[in-house]
């Protein structure tokens, strides 16, 4: 079989017509016989180009409000016949089926219709039947039929068509078949996930058609990829390409700052997915300065994020620090200019975009899937477990610390005072070790822990943590509660006039 095949006939039936005209004109110029339906047929006619209506081939009109147009043996026979098999060729002649060398077809915008908030009937009508069938048929028979299944491929196809005068190589036909199956599998995944939105069927189907090859993975010897629409979430203003580790840190930063949307100016600095500094102040400049004070050592090479615009004054302070990424909802003109002073520093404007409601990670020979931890501890849901109640300032700090704790690797203890992170113990095998780590770190940066508060991601099975905290000067504690030995910690707090509140919600993060 020849490695190239001349296109002599084409079926064109598309929803999106942007960029189609040059292809139609080129096919016409090359003497290709065109077949089409409905709106696409009119589009081609309006270009002054002859086109044969599919219903003239099938002797059957479009029916059921356009639901059935191309589903006919004379169409699919023209696509699926194998031209190197004599019996197929004979049947084509017997039933007067036209050969179709090229199929240009796309799909109804199902995902966009769902995202628009449309009603169920509108969504159902956007489940393509004819289009998906044409794509699968043409891609399956790539040896004899070329399939162009997306307007994103129009330019590439036009270049090949022009360069080869319509003599398309087998390798190109196979490449376009792979693209087509990528389109069809993604489409079916979106439809399934719509119907299974309540997860009543325990099946995992994930499809991301936007992929990017990264410089490497977590380490230089590992390959790395990112699958997702980064540009929906961010406008990248400046800097080098984001690495695998940058993306993990950006994800951690965005999730942490989501707790402070609409609050007073809040600034966080993260390293290895954990906050090493965070503060909330009346100005973004002071919030940054106090966040940096939380751990100026770990901040080196960190990821910075603000919940409000970064102005010139703040940018001047940030510019003194070597940092990988700076994220904000906006930058002042002067602030942006200052931060662009380091050529590799990545500047991202965070846009409003929905984040996934589930988390997925590989596990053994499969995957673990869970709902995202969407509970933020609030004053309304607290249980006051001790005789001493937290003051208004302590309560504010407790909820501030709890938000940080939720986004810190377990086991963790977070210490805060005056809406500022003093220190945290992260990723420890013992909660006592996490507390001791946090106290030692806070002391090393000269924080006065007298009157500070402590947050824990899980309950205390013994009173040792509240005792250690008390001796360090900590006066209030927030934790989930729920241990069969809660009373031991409550008793210690009552004896030493400490305030402790229960949230009723554990926030493990592994």
* Catalytic annotation, residues: 140, 272
Distance CA 221, CA 214 (A): 12
Name 33's bridge partners: 9
Q: Which stretches does DSSP call E strand in 364-447?
A: 366-371, 383-384, 413-416, 421-425
Distance CA 243, CA 328 (A): 19
Distance CA 369, CA 216 (A): 25
Name 269's bridge partners: 277, 304
Per the CB < 8 A criterion, the answer to whether 70 and 78 are in contact is no
CA dihedral 246, 247, 248, 253 (to 10 degrees): 90
Per the CB < 8 A criterion, the answer to whether 431 and 460 are in contact is yes
Distance CA 213, CA 297 (A): 32
340 phi and psi angles, rounded to 5 deg: -75, 0
For the chain, the distance separating the N- and C-terminal CA atoms, rounded to the nearest angstrom, is 56
Distance CA 49, CA 42 (A): 10
Per the CB < 8 A criterion, the answer to whether 329 and 349 are in contact is yes
Residue 153 CB neighbours (<10 A): 20
Query: In what helix (H) or strand (E) does residue 499 lie, and over which residues does it extend?
Result: strand 499-502
Per the CB < 8 A criterion, the answer to whether 251 and 407 are in contact is no
- The residue length of the chain stands at 510
**Helix, strand, or coil (residue 290):** helix
Q: What is the CA radius of gyration of the chain?
A: 31
Q: 338-360 in b/e burial notation, b at 16+ Cβ within 10 A?
A: bbbebeebbbbbbeeeeeeeeee
Distances (CA, A) of 254 to 87, 305, 326, 355: 61, 8, 11, 10
DSSP state letter for 418:
S
Per the CB < 8 A criterion, the answer to whether 117 and 60 are in contact is no
**Helix, strand, or coil (residue 113):** helix
429 token code pair: 């095998």
Checking DSSP bridges between strand 476-479 and strand 366-371, what pairing results, if any?
Answer: unpaired
């Amino acid at each position: 079989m020849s490695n190239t095949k001349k296109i002599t006939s084409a079926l064109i039936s598309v929803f999106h017509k942007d960029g189609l005209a040059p292809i139609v004109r080129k096919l016409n110029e090359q003497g290709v016989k065109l077949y089409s339906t409905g709106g696409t047929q009119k589009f081609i006619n309006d270009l002054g180009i002859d086109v044969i209506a599919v219903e003239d081939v099938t002797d059957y009109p479009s029916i059921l409000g356009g639901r059935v147009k191309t589903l006919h043996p004379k169409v699919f026979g023209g696509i699926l016949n194998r031209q190197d098999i004599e019996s197929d060729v004979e049947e084509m002649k017997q039933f007067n089926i036209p050969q179709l060398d090229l199929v240009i077809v796309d799909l109804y915008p199902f995902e966009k219709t769902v995202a628009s908030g449309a009603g169920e009937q509108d969504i159902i009508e956007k489940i393509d039947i004819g289009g998906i069938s044409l794509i699968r048929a043409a891609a399956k028979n790539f040896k004899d039929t070329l399939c162009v299944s997306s307007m994103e491929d129009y330019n590439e196809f036009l270049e090949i068509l022009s360069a080869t005068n319509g003599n398309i190589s087998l390798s190109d036909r196979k490449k376009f078949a792979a693209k087509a199956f990528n389109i069809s599998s993604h489409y079916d995944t979106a439809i399934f996930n719509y119907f299974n939105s309540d997860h009543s069927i325990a099946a995992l189907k994930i499809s991301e058609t936007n992929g990017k090859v990264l410089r490497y993975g977590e380490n230089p010897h590992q390959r790395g990829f990112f699958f997702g629409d980064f540009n929906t979430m961010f406008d990248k203003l400046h800097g080098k390409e984001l690495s695998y580790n940058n993306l993990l840190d950006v994800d951690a930063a965005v999730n942490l700052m989501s707790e402070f949307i609409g609050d007073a100016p809040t600034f966080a600095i993260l390293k290895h997915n954990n906050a090493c500094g965070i503060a909330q102040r009346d100005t973004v400049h002071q919030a940054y300065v106090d966040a940096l004070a939380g751990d100026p050592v770990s901040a080196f090479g960190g990821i910075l994020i603000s919940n409000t615009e970064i102005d010139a004054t703040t940018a001047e302070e940030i510019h003194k620090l070597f940092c990988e990424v700076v994220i904000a909802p906006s930058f002042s003109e002067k602030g942006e200019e200052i931060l662009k002073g380091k050529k590799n520093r990545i500047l991202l404007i965070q846009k409003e975009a929905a984040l996934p409601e589930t988390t997925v990670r590989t596990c053994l020979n499969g995957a673990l899937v869970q709902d995202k931890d969407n509970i933020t501890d609030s004053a309304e849901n607290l249980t006051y477990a001790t005789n001493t109640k937290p003051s208004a300032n302590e309560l504010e700090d407790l909820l501030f610390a709890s938000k940080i704790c939720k986004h810190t690797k377990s086991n963790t203890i977070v210490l805060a005072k005056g809406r500022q992170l003093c220190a945290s113990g992260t990723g420890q095998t013992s909660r006592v070790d996490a507390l001791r780590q946090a106290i030692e770190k806070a002391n090393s940066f000269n924080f006065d822990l007298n009157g500070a508060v402590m947050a824990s991601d899980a309950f205390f099975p013994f009173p040792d943590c509240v005792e250690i905290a008390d001796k360090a000067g900590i006066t209030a504690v927030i934790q989930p509660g729920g241990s069969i030995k809660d009373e031991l910690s409550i008793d210690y707090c009552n004896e030493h006039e400490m305030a402790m509140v229960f949230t009723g919600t554990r926030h493990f993060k592994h």
